[in-house]
Amino acid sequence: MTSTRQILSDHIIGFVHVGHIVSDLAASIAGFQRLYGVSAADILVLPPFEQTENVPARFALIKVKDMEFELIQPISEHFKNLLLTPGSSGSAGINHVAWRVKDIDGAMRLLASHGIRPGHVTPDGVITMTKTSTSAKKMVYLDPATTGGLLVELIEVIEHA
């Protein structure tokens, strides 16, 4: 017998964005530009930085490939309390974003040329982990101090013949 109970996944049709609370929106945007090479055309700041009066929070929507990140800087005490209070939906934040890459060593060379380096779990760089006898993965976490405060993991899956 088929259930008529609806669940949230019945309504989901795609991905919108990943939200991340930041303390310095301008610095976080600069980190995204260094990390992903996004241009000003890929970034929408609401309200604009020029608007300084009556701004409870500022948001940056940043397009990276077919994903969007929403960076949120709480400014007013109300928004700081709302987003940063333990037990609120914003207090947990995002731990990290993982991206699958085809050439992790090449990616790390490129990132190093932009001042982005390994950190967190893998401060010494890329590590290889054997998954099975036919595959393994290389992975690295990037230092959040060089990525605008966001912890990023890169993964390359290696298939053995």
- Give the model's pLDDT for residue 62: 95
pTM: 0.66
Classified by CATH at the fold level, domain 95-161 comes out as: 2,3-Dihydroxybiphenyl 1,2-Dioxygenase; domain 1 (3.10.180)
- Give the tokens for residue 152: 């990023």
Give tens-digit pLDDT for 7-28: 657 767 666 788 888 888 999 9
- Give the tokens for residue 111: 């990132």
- Give the model's pLDDT for residue 82: 67
Confidence of residue 66 (pLDDT cuts 50, 70, 90): confident
Confidence of residue 95 (pLDDT cuts 50, 70, 90): low
The CATH superfamily holding the domain 14-93 is 2,3-Dihydroxybiphenyl 1,2-Dioxygenase, domain 1 (3.10.180.10)
